[in-house]
Amino acid sequence: MNQTTPPQNLALPVGVTLDRYIIRKQSAFPFATGELSQLLRDIALAGKIINREINRAGLIDVVGGFGAQNVQGENQQKLDVIANIRFIRALKNGGEVCALISEEDEEIIFTGNDHGKYVVAMDPLDGSSNIDVNVSIGTIFSIYRRITPTGTRATLDDFMQGGRKQVAAGYILYGSSTMLVYTTGHGVSGFTYDHSLGEFFLSHAELTSPDNGTIYSCNDGNFNQYPETVRDYLATCRERGYTGRYIGSLVADFHRNLIKGGMYLYPPIPKAPSGKLRLLYECYPLAFIAEQAGGSACDGYRSILDIEPTHLHQRTPLYIGAKGMVEELLSRF
Ligand code: AHG
Ligand code: MN
Ligand code: MN
């Protein structure tokens, strides 16, 4: 042993756990009663369980199609269904949520906890086409404080408050490492999962988007169907020698762009005239995070967070990422 090594350096601190961080930051929450802290911890627990299922997916019989379609008419993968069950169960057992909506269910899911103060909108597993091929996938969640009285059944109104009323939002990225990123409206924090300890540790205390970027992320196969404005913008990106990167998992593409500087685009196309992505559980939460990180998100005309919600599974075009890129595109519309 090197005699000059101070003994404490032989056992460096492991860092701040998500639980401890949430409790520490609780006073900054809009309603500092501890229930939102507990809800975030429930989501993190479901994330750990899903992470486990994903990691051993090839070993147990959970890859492939489930043989049914979800409300969007998309083929459900077994892991879509498993993640949905895990999240619903975690939120029911947690007790803080009175109702939730999910990409996988057409109607509102009531937890039976009418005294819960929160409602959650979620995409339990994002990036379905990547599930079977060991490519990054994610979970997206959005949290509102209910506006109907506690003790009564939640209603559609609780979910139709609009993006600016989110009290917290986040995502879990099951990637080369598993990360949980969330905001409660006071900046964005990122945590990395330590498998051996079974804990998320603070790894990105203050996630901020670069003001501008040189990465564009879209499905190039749809290029000819994009609006002319978007095609022109992408042609400019190519002329400038920007980098094209598209994983096909929104969470993963968004996360990379957040760290490195870039923009994700899902414009309207003839087969998806309102875009493909869902407002309540894909676009609102990521737009909240983008804005909190100093980035931007719009549908081509206005901020995503200013879109008025009309139904649970509504879609919107999405342009999200570094402010400079989103604004340049917007200025061309
Ligand atoms: P989901 O798996 O939850 O249905 O979402 C898939 C979304 C998004 O994650 C991804 O960026 C996009 O669909 C990919 O769509 P294309 O295959 O049309 O490019
Ligand atoms: Mn999705
Ligand atoms: Mn999904």
pLDDT in tens, the chain (333 residues): 556 888 888 888 889 999 899 888 877 766 667 888 899 999 999 999 999 998 886 666 767 787 788 877 787 888 999 999 999 999 999 999 999 999 999 999 999 999 999 999 999 999 988 988 899 999 999 999 999 999 999 999 999 999 999 999 999 999 999 999 999 999 999 999 999 999 999 999 999 999 999 999 999 999 999 999 999 999 999 999 999 999 999 999 999 999 999 999 999 999 999 999 999 999 999 999 999 999 999 999 999 999 999 999 999 999 999 999 999 999 999
Report which ligand 1 atom has the smallest distance to the Cα of 123.
Answer: 3
Distances (CA, A) of 284 to 39, 185, 307: 19, 13, 9
- Whether the CA torsion 104, 109, 111, 112 is positive or negative: it is negative
Identify the CATH number of the domain defined by range 15-204. 3.30.540.10
251 CA closest ligand 1 atom index: 9
CATH architecture label of 215-330: 3-Layer(aba) Sandwich (3.40)
pLDDT score recorded for residue 29: 67
Are 142 and 169 a contacting pair, CB within 8 Å? yes
In the block, tokens 């498998």 appear at: 195
Nearest CA to ligand 1 atom 6: 127
Spatial separation of the C-alpha atoms in residues 169 and 37, rounded to whole Å:
13
The Cα–Cα gap between 35 and 6 comes to 42
Pick from 81, 126, 255 the residue to mutate for probing ligand 1's pocket: most ligand atoms within 8 Å of its CB.
126
Query: Domain residues of the chain, as ranges?
Result: 15-204, 215-330
CA distance 249 to 134: 12
Question: What is the rounded CA–CA span in Å between residue 222 and residue 167?
Answer: 35
Distance 126 CA to ligand 2 centre (A): 4
Taking residue 233's Cβ as centre, other Cβ atoms within 10 Å add up to: 23
* Residue to mutate (ligand 1; options 87, 128, 129, 265; most atoms within 8 A of CB): 129
Fill in the amino acid letter for 328. E
The predicted pLDDT at position 68 comes to: 80
**Which amino acid is present at 17?**
T
Pocket of ligand 1 (CB under 6 A): 74, 103, 123, 126-129, 219, 248-250, 276
Q: Nearest bound ligand to CA 278? A: 2
The span from the CA of 163 to the CA of 38, in Å, is 22
**Can you say how many angstroms the Cα of residue 47 is from the centroid of all Cα atoms in its chain?**
12
CA atoms of 284 and 282, how far apart (whole Å)? 6
Whole-number pLDDT of residue 229: 97
The closest-lying atom of ligand 1 relative to the alpha carbon of residue 221 is 19
215-330 has the same fold as 15-204: no
pTM: 0.95
pLDDT the model gives residue 31: 65
